[in-house]
A and B are shown apart, each in its own frame.
Chain A
Amino acid sequence: MSASGTSITAMAERESLLTPRANLVLTAVLLALAVAAPFGLYPVFLMKALCFALFACAFNLLIGYVGLLSFGHAAFFGTAAYITAHVTKEWGVEPFLGILMGTAVAALLGLVFGWLAIRRQGIYFAMVTLALAQMVYFFALQAKYTHGEDGIQAVPRGYLFGVFDLSEPYTMYYFVLAVFLLGYWIIYRTIHSPFGQVLKAIRENEPRAISLGYKTDQYKLLAFILSATLAGLAGSTKTLVFQLASLTDVEWQMSGQVVLMTLVGGLGTVFGPVVGAFIYITMENYLAQYGSWVTVIQGVIFVFCVLVFRRGVVGEIAHLARKRWASAHPPPAQGAARPAPGE
């Protein structure tokens, strides 16, 4: 990326603020909330938010930890959605297998797109992914089995493993929650693995990572495939939730939305995309009545975030907490917050 510019995730978390115990408590509270949520909130809303949260987390893996902005993630989300819809509806495939098939195709697509796109960096990478995704969109528009403007409707949810009836809202919700947790865990493990450390090194200074002997292209490609796969998992699951796969899923506006969710929640923070997705879906729910003003509001949020709120919700909270911590524990204390670079 640029040598002079401030890295897009320079304000991302450097080290965890929380002690391991606090982290454990917080995780337990959130989990309990997630389990109890469908009894207080509309399950479809929650499932939608969880699918998009997983989608945003997958996207964030690339921008937040490798520094690559993909503007074409709708391609993976939408393709997986179409595949799952087709195999479960037309071939009568069991839902779990259907999701697996959709996800696998997204992974393959990720392999091809990633292989092409990682040849360029920075804004070129964004434009290349956008253009490749547009190709998928036109394919979906013209191919026969996607049913054009109608999309694939009335996709059956079916019986999970032939046993659990997914048309039951609560069963479906816990299935979606399980899928989300699995995806989130994979991302969390990736980020905190040696592999994730190398990705961060590439983000910060690719030439240096190369000089240390890392084959950065392979790392970038692998991260890209992982991100595409999880975006596909989110798309496939979404298809079963709404029983629909349509052109909306592959449009470039979808790619834009996932960027927005991540930006609002906090680029390069582990939990930020989840918060961003929930905020976005809630907002969308309330704004649905305003029709095309939604686009305008999306645009305003983009401008606002880029100009004054670049850390996002989670990033901002972490930043404030770190600042307070630093003032309470004045310097020689180890691990005190350093001034955020570029500020």
Chain B
Amino acid sequence: MLTFLPHIPPLPALLGQLLIGLINGAFYAMLSLGLAVIFGLLNIINFTHGAQYMLGAFCAWFLLQIAGVGYWPALVIAPIVVGVFGLVIERVFIRHIYRLDHLYGLLLTFGIALIIEGVFRNYYGSSGLPYTIPDSLGGGQRITLFGRFIMFLPNYRAWVIAASVIFCFGTWFMIERTRFVVNLRATTENPTLVQAFGINVPRMVTLTYGFGAALAALAGVMAAPIYQVSPLMGSNIIVVVFAVVVIGGMGSIMGAIVSGFLLGIIEGLTKVFWPEASTTVIFVVMAIVLLVKPAGLFGRTA
């Protein structure tokens, strides 16, 4: 009878994959959060999000290689640089298409992503560049349970998980619980009226886009020591993040966060039991969610 059950791997291997899943989930969560924030106000799907994530990682890499600036300052500088870059993109390009069909937003940001990615691919090829883990987060912990070794937890990975949870919930708190967002929400409902109350709506829109870009860059810096810094890192992850967003439903910030982590874990577990399916499992989950709950797990009816 038991032969029908999948082979149960040893606990350390299982927990190891679970950890990798959690790490991936942290990045899915941060990226889909940024997408949801931008979508909430601008009503566009930011295809450039992957490129902005890649730019964050490259920014950290440049800072280290050229200026000798380490990880911790990069964690602040890179999001600011990419955020400002995002502000410029919004002002120069995206601004002009708000009155058009949302699909044009997708096409426009797709074009911008191709430009950014193409330029980097031209100079850095498609192979990855290494970024070393900062000394302060090197090493790791041997975790034991009842005196038995169960897993090795690298400090850097523990930091990534903790930090992404903090950043995600920080953003959630800011968006769901503060005045700024009352304005933001009102703006999505009725921009003209909000503007009449003396709130500078266009500026708010620009800042939101910049914030979303900065969030992607922050994820990029955090990803640099784990995955290699590569021009393709953005487009590889963005398609998966799109699936996560479809699963979570873009209506809610919390939905984006929870489904990001959840799908990372599902992907990690799949890698243990059926490695070949791990690249496609998220898309399969998406198909199932579409069948059962078309609006997404946390979505309002579209």
Partner-B contacts on A (CB < 8 A): 1-2, 5-8, 69, 71, 116-117, 119-124, 126-128, 130-132, 134-135, 138-139, 141-142, 252, 256, 259, 263, 291-303, 305-307, 310, 342
Contacts and interface: CB of A to CB of B under 8 A. Distances in A.
B34 to A, nearest CB: 15
B102 interface: yes
A119 B290 contact: yes
A123 B106 contact: yes
A298 B243 contact: no
B242 A302 contact: no
B101 interface: yes
Interface of B: 43-45, 93, 96-97, 99-108, 110-119, 121-122, 235, 239-240, 242-243, 245-246, 276, 279-280, 282-284, 286-287, 290-291, 294, 302
16 contacts: A1-B101, A2-B101, A116-B287, A119-B291, A123-B105, A128-B290, A130-B242, A134-B243, A141-B279, A293-B118, A293-B122, A295-B114, A299-B111, A302-B111, A306-B107, A306-B111
Contacts, number: 143
Given A130-B239, A292-B121, A300-B111, A6 B100 contact: yes
A141 B286 CA distance: 20
Q: At the interface, is chain A mostly helix, strand, loop or mixed?
A: helix
A126 B121 CA distance: 26
A328 B209 CA distance: 46
A215 B117 CA distance: 42
A142 B107 contact: no
B302 A121 contact: yes
A134 B239 contact: yes
Nearest to B35: A127
Contacts of B243: 127, 131, 134
Nearest to B39: A123
Given A7-B101, A301-B111, A310-B104, 10 more contacts: A1-B102, A2-B43, A2-B101, A120-B246, A135-B283, A256-B110, A299-B111, A303-B108, A306-B108, A307-B93
A137 to B, nearest CB: 9
B114 A299 contact: yes
A307 B108 contact: yes
Q: At the interface, is chain B mostly helix, strand, loop or mixed?
A: helix
A252 B242 CA distance: 13
Contacts of B282: 131
B103 A122 contact: yes
Top 8 A-B pairs ranked by shortest CB distance? A302-B111, A299-B114, A295-B118, A299-B115, A296-B118, A131-B243, A135-B283, A119-B294
Given A252-B239, A299-B111, A302-B107, A291 B290 contact: no
A117 B291 CA distance: 10
B242 A131 contact: yes
Contacts of A116: 287, 290-291
Contacts of A135: 280, 283-284
Contacts of A296: 114-115, 118-119, 122
A21 B290 CA distance: 48
Nearest to B247: A131
